[in-house]
């Protein structure tokens, strides 16, 4: 009995109720041994999932004073796929998604924000889509066919400027066909679906999600810059809605 009293007194000194771990973000009760155990398990697993050792070849698509954004494509090496998957799993756990499988694995692009402590604190999964339906809540559909309906891109011209122009023309063509194809129901076609967006709890409200979407818009289609109307958010959470509303009005 004395021991139990002691535990309660110790806990009382720390304050009853919830403790928030400042590094993994988990809320737990420090006076409950089961909770303490659960926390240490979660803590280690999470930190190893988001730890980023660095690779010889990284596709850095944006650089900031507090980190960088790397892009991982389906054809990238196993170790890159594995990291992208580990981080997606962390995000999915928090979003309450059951499965880690991507709806269009061969077309999905994963963007990771790596901070200066070499931790992945942001993840965006973007994929080509079409939008259908007339309801205010857009229906989010993966679009496997759209690039197959247009002619293949011409062989790369010699200069970067010409390459950019060719990509721009291809994109205009895509947009045009897309509009023609679904003009009766959708005035503003989305080209890029954001199927997941997640920022590590302790790193929120530092503009990381904003910078990641800016980077998606400038890099998702080569040589082109997508407008916010050309992005669609799949099944947004309350946090996601607040963020998307703010982001798309800027």
Contact flag: residue 43 with Zn ion (CB under 5 A): yes
Say how many Å lie between the first and final Cα of the chain, rounded: 61
Contact flag: residue 90 with Zn ion (CB under 5 A): no
- Residue closer to ligand ACO by CB (options 80, 197) is 197
Give the closest residue to 196 by CA, choosing from 147, 156, 239, 248: 239
Whether residue 66 contacts residue 57, with contact meaning beta carbons closer than 8 Å, is answered with: no
Contact flag: residue 24 with Zn ion (CB under 5 A): yes
Judged by beta carbon distances under 5 to 8 A according to partner kind, the member of ligand ACO, Zn ion, none in contact with residue 24 is Zn ion
Pair type for strands 231-233 and 192-199: parallel
Judged by beta carbon distances under 5 to 8 A according to partner kind, the member of ligand ACO, Zn ion, none in contact with residue 103 is none
Judged by beta carbon distances under 5 to 8 A according to partner kind, the member of Zn ion, ligand ACO, none in contact with residue 168 is none
φ, ψ (nearest 5 deg) of residue 196: -150, 140
Contact flag: residue 21 with Zn ion (CB under 5 A): yes
Please, is 15 exposed, middle or buried when counting C-beta atoms within 10 Å of its C-beta (0-12, 13-18, 19+)?
Answer: exposed
Written as six digits, the tokens of 17 are 């109720």
- Residue closer to ligand ACO by CB (options 43, 204) is 204
* Number of residues located near Zn ion, criterion CB under 5 A: 3
Judged by beta carbon distances under 5 to 8 A according to partner kind, the member of ligand ACO, Zn ion, none in contact with residue 199 is ligand ACO
- Residue closer to Zn ion by CB (options 24, 71) is 24
- Measured from the CB of residue 22, what is the shortest distance to ligand ACO in angstroms? 16
Give contact residues for ligand ACO (rule: CB under 6 A).
94-95, 194, 196-199, 204-210, 233-234, 236-237, 239-240, 242-243, 246
Q: Which residue is nearest to ligand ACO (CB)?
A: 240
- Measured from the CB of residue 43, what is the shortest distance to Zn ion in angstroms? 3
- Residue closer to ligand ACO by CB (options 85, 239) is 239
CA 199/CA 243 separation, integer angstroms = 11
CA 94/CA 50 separation, integer angstroms = 14
φ, ψ (nearest 5 deg) of residue 199: -125, 135
Contact flag: residue 119 with Zn ion (CB under 5 A): no
Written as six digits, the tokens of 203 are 């790193």
- Measured from the CB of residue 36, what is the shortest distance to Zn ion in angstroms? 11
- Residue closer to ligand ACO by CB (options 105, 157) is 105
In angstroms and rounded to an integer, the radius of gyration of the C-alpha atoms of the chain is 22
- Measured from the CB of residue 146, what is the shortest distance to ligand ACO in angstroms? 20
Which helix or strand (DSSP H or E) is residue 72 part of? strand 67-72
- Measured from the CB of residue 142, what is the shortest distance to ligand ACO in angstroms? 14
Quickly list DSSP for 159-197.
Answer: SHHHHHHHHHHHHHHHHHHHHHHHTTT-SS---EEEEEE
Site residues, Zn ion (CB under 5 A): 21, 24, 43
């Amino acid at each position: 009995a004395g021991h139990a009293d002691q535990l309660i007194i110790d806990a009382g000194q720390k304050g009853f109720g919830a403790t928030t771990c400042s590094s993994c973000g988990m809320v737990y009760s420090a006076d409950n041994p089961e909770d303490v155990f659960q926390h240490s398990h979660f803590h280690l697993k999470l930190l190893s999932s988001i730890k980023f050792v660095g690779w010889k070849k990284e596709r850095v698509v944006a650089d900031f004073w507090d980190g960088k954004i790397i892009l991982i494509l389906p054809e990238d090496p196993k170790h890159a796929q594995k990291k992208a998957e580990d981080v997606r799993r962390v995000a999915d756990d928090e979003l309450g998604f059951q499965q880690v499988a991507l709806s269009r694995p061969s077309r999905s692009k994963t963007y990771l924000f790596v901070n200066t402590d070499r931790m992945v604190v942001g993840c965006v999964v973007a994929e080509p889509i079409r939008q259908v339906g007339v309801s205010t809540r857009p229906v989010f559909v993966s679009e496997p066919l759209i690039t197959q309906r247009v002619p293949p891109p011409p062989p790369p011209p010699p200069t970067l400027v010409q390459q950019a122009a060719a990509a721009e023309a291809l994109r205009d063509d895509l947009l045009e066909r897309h509009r023609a194809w679904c003009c009766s129901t959708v005035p503003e076609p989305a080209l890029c679906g954001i199927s997941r967006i997640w920022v590590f709890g302790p790193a929120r409200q530092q503009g990381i999600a904003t910078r990641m979407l800016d980077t998606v818009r400038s890099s998702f289609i080569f040589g082109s810059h997508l407008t916010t109307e050309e992005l669609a958010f799949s099944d947004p959470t309350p946090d996601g809605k607040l963020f998307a509303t703010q982001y798309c009005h800027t």
